[in-house]
């Protein structure tokens, strides 16, 4: 299969030496593959490389259902953000309603901050696991970034999660650019607190609030005003944390204020277990008079 991508880079002065990193990705089904990589610039200069890869689940992941067949290859952007309808089973009871807060922050490494598609794959995998569960039937979604202090996309309760707008949101990220407003003291904390007090309400027709993605801002806590406002919310709250890091940050501390439960879901086995626990606890809540 041929995958082609056009990338634009800033002009490089003649005589410049050093490295340049270009990020891209593709997805494959289980199997062994030969990869031939070619790079060509507008002047016709080119370079190439070849290597072999093998995609196979770990022994602990053998029971995880794969969404690509063995031998399949696809464009990562098109595949990751493909649409998907919910599959709630009404025979299992009233479908549960979730409001999902998706953290779209970009991980910063070395001297550069770039958008790497692969680091968003676990977060999108969590959304798909939720949308595919037969007990979960309606979803509201809020896509936000602490780094950019902005909400990129949101939708109210509906029978499926929107995936296509997430691709546009990814393109809208600008991790290498910081505005003066973003440099203000406690700016991320205040943005997050204001968003939560606006989006979370004791009167919501939501069965649970679910935070998805990595934690952020190590050790940071919500302002006293935000904590007092949110302390009256009694709906179940969950944090499906896609990072394996053990530290607690702004998102985790906010979940703690809401008496929520946090599950590490950084691999397929943990993701399956985390979603199962979430649904089991919600079913217990529904049975409690």
Domains of the chain by start residue, with CATH: 1-7+26-74 (no CATH), 78-287 (3.40.50)
More confident residue, 242 or 245: 242
**C-alpha distances in Å from residue 206, one per residue of 88, 105, 253, 288:** 16, 25, 21, 16
Helix (H, G, I), strand (E, B) or coil at 227: helix
- Report the predicted TM-score, pTM, of the whole model to 2 decimal places: 0.76
Question: Could you tell me what percent of the chain has a pLDDT over 90?
Answer: 42
pLDDT digit string, tens, across residues 141-173: 999 999 889 999 999 999 999 898 888 888 777
Residue-level pLDDT at 154: 94
Let me know the angle formed at the C-alpha of 279 by 164 and 271, rounded to the nearest 5 degrees: 60
**Neighbour-count burial for 6-29, b at 16+ CB within 10 Å, e otherwise:** eeeeeeeeeeeeeeeeeeebbbbe
What is the predicted pLDDT for the residue at 253? 93
pLDDT tens digits for range 89-120? 888 888 999 999 999 988 755 444 566 777 88
């Amino acid at each position: 299969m041929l995958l082609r991508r056009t990338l634009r880079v800033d002009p490089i002065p003649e005589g410049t030496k050093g490295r340049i990193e270009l990020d891209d990705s593709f997805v494959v089904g289980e199997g062994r593959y030969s990869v031939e990589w070619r790079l060509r610039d507008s002047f016709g200069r080119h370079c190439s490389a070849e290597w072999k890869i093998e995609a196979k689940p770990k022994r602990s992941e053998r029971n995880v259902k794969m969404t690509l067949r063995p031998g399949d290859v696809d464009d990562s952007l098109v595949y990751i953000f493909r649409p998907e309808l919910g599959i709630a089973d009404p025979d299992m009871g009233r479908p549960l309603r979730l409001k999902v807060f998706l953290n779209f922050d970009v991980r910063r490494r070395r001297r550069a901050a770039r958008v790497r598609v692969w680091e968003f794959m676990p977060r999108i995998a969590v959304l798909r696991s939720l949308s595919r569960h037969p007990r979960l039937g309606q979803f509201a979604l809020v896509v936000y970034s602490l780094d950019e202090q902005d909400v990129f996309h949101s939708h109210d309760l509906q029978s499926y999660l929107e995936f296509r707008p997430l691709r546009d949101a990814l393109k809208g990220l600008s991790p290498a650019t910081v505005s003066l407003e973003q440099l203000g003291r406690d700016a991320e904390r205040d943005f997050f607190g204001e968003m939560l007090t606006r989006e979370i309400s004791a009167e919501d027709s939501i069965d649970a609030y679910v935070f998805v993605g990595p934690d952020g801002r190590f050790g940071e806590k919500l302002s006293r005003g935000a904590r007092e406002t949110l302390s009256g919310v009694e709906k179940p709250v969950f944090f499906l944390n896609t990072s394996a890091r053990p530290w607690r940050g702004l998102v985790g501390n906010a979940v703690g204020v809401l008496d929520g439960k946090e599950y590490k879901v950084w691999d397929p086995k943990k993701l399956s277990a985390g979603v199962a626990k979430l649904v089991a606890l919600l079913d217990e809540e529904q049975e409690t008079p």
